Amino acid sequence: MSAAAAAGTWKLGDLEVNRIGYGAMRLTGNGMMGNSDGAPIDRDVAVGLLHSAFEQGVNHVDTAAFYFSPLRSANELINRALSSWSGDVVVVTKVGPGRDPSGEWLDTVRPDQLRGQVEENLRQLGRDCLDVVNLRAGGPRTASLAEHFGALAELREAGLVRHLGLSGVLHEHVAEAQKIAPVVCVQNSYGLDWRRADESGLVDLCGKQGIAFVPFFAVSGLRREAAAGQEHNARVHSVARAHNATPAQIRLAWTLHRGPHVLAIPGTRNPAHLAENIAAGALRLAEEELALLDKPDEDTA
């Protein structure tokens, strides 16, 4: 069994993936805003990092055309890595509000512009059909997504997209989209420090409907796009010591314990952190440890 298979598998439609995947956002810099961690990552180093993930069993990569910095594009790095890899890897990308070539955000995207975004992802990834495309919510948080999701459903019927998902959405958006076309995954910010998806019932809704729930920022928490900072949660440290694990591994393990439909897509440019993230799938937290982690924030040191 590969390291990434230790947490089990889930299906995105008809595509079975290991529950531990890889998020490509950090490949081009520190976050999707294009902020730099310093010198851009060497292309061969990036390809080697992706190959290392694949060798450890990662067969699910999350990306987007708007994951780019002045000199690097996550999609193009993934394309290069997959062109020299013989195994099957499911690539999940997203469309909707994005960035223009200068890096400025385009918060308003019309439904008829989504085809261009899908085609841009196809070109960058070197594919004729995208495995999974998530519609990223934009505009007012409660706004309907029906027209935009309908446009993607048409591209699915046309054979440009295999499966559809949602990103950054509310409980009601899932029901709205499901009336138009099957939803195979929902990506939302979620972790120990940010549990709105629990409060709204979204995590449980996805489980009941057989939809993958894919948290992002599960490790960085409230720091969001920034890399995970120094861990200040005493409860996380306590559980980590008991397992001889890192706090980041405990945070990932906690999300995976929320249900068999919950996937993980931690991203990193550090090979050691990559191995640690993948190894988190093998951690088994006891009920009392989960209860400790779930205590209210006022118990946090």
- Residue 191 tokens read as 């972790």
Q: Which amino acid is at 99?
A: R
Q: H or E segment at 72?
A: strand 72-73
Helix 171-178 crosses helix 202-209 at what angle (to 10 degrees)? 30
Q: H or E segment at 135?
A: strand 130-136
User: Rounded to whole angstroms, how far apart are CA atoms 16 and 106?
Assistant: 33
- Residue 60 tokens read as 């699910």
Of 4, 164, 189, 216, residue with least CA distance to 89: 4
Catalytic residue among 67, 149, 216, 254: 67
Q: Hey, is 106 helix, strand or coil?
A: strand
Residue 67 annotated among the catalytic residues of the structure: yes
**Residue pair 216/265 in contact by the 8 Å Cβ criterion:** yes
Region of 178 on the Ramachandran plot (φ > 0 left; ψ -120 to 50 alpha; else beta): alpha
Catalytic residues: 67
